[in-house]
Amino acid sequence: MIQKSYFKQNPQDPKPLKYTIERQVRFDELDPLNIMWHGNYASFFEEGRVTLGDKYSIGYLDFFNHGINIPLKKFHVDYVLPLEFKQTYKIETLLYWNEAARLDFEFHIYNQKDELMTTGYSIHLMIDNVKGILVAKPAFFEKFCENWKKGQI
């Protein structure tokens, strides 16, 4: 299966930031069909997003400490193949460049044979402490984006 990005990028945009974690399917994550319960994928994507954010110091707490919250605006998942008990898999998380005050994450889950199992994305807005939607990136994130665009991240 050829994987196309959910997000359109311009040639001058920097490459997406990427981070991968590895897990193993646990018994308590299975549904009655003995495959991964579909509702768990939101949690897996969140785990990937949190670890990527922590790696680059742009996670929940980094935004929160600057008076910004990053609520979920949109969530999408495409199931390709089911994960099964004890199967080892990777969650690859990508953060795509965006000029707006929002975060565009894409997720790919691969089994131990590097077969694509699941894909998806989430979009997060930025709001201030009184729940006002930001139209410009907060200063700390703008500086991060400048360094990203220069290839310094």
Q: Which two tokens stand for residue 26?
A: 């646990």
Would you say residue 6 lies in a domain?
Answer: no
Q: In terms of residue numbers, what domain contains 117?
A: 17-149
Would you say residue 30 lies in a domain?
Answer: yes
Using the predicted structure, report yes or no on whether residue 5 has a pLDDT greater than 80: yes
Would you say residue 43 lies in a domain?
Answer: yes
Would you say residue 139 lies in a domain?
Answer: yes
Would you say residue 69 lies in a domain?
Answer: yes
Residues in the chain, overall count: 153
Query: In one letter, which amino acid is 88?
Result: T
How high is the pLDDT of residue 79? 96
Q: Which residues pair with 93 in a beta bridge?
A: 19, 107
Average pLDDT over residues 7-20: 96
Would you say residue 25 lies in a domain?
Answer: yes
Alpha carbon distance 120, 111 (integer Å):
15
How high is the pLDDT of residue 2? 58
Using the predicted structure, report yes or no on whether residue 1 has a pLDDT greater than 90: no
Q: Encode pLDDT of 44-84 as tens digits.
A: 999 999 999 999 999 999 999 999 999 999 999 999 999 99
The answer to whether the CB of 133 falls within 8 A of the CB of 2 is no
Burial status of residue 105 (CB atoms within 10 A of its CB: 0-12, 13-18, 19 or more): buried
CATH number for 37 = 3.10.129.10
How high is the pLDDT of residue 3? 72
In sequence order, what DSSP letters do the residues of the chain get, joined into one string? Answer: -PPPPSS---TTSPPPEEEEEEEE--GGGB-TTSBB-TTHHHHHHHHHHHHHHHHHT-SHHHHHTTT-B--EEEEEEEE-S--BTT-EEEEEEEEE--SSSEEEEEEEEEETT--EEEEEEEEEE-B-TT-PBPSS--HHHHHHHHHHHTT--
Would you say residue 8 lies in a domain?
Answer: no
Give the mean pLDDT of the chain. 96
Angle CA(11)–CA(16)–CA(112) in degrees, nearest 5? 130
Q: Encode pLDDT of 73-103 as tens digits.
A: 999 999 999 999 999 999 999 999 999 999 9
If one counts the domains in the chain, the total is: 1
Would you say residue 68 lies in a domain?
Answer: yes
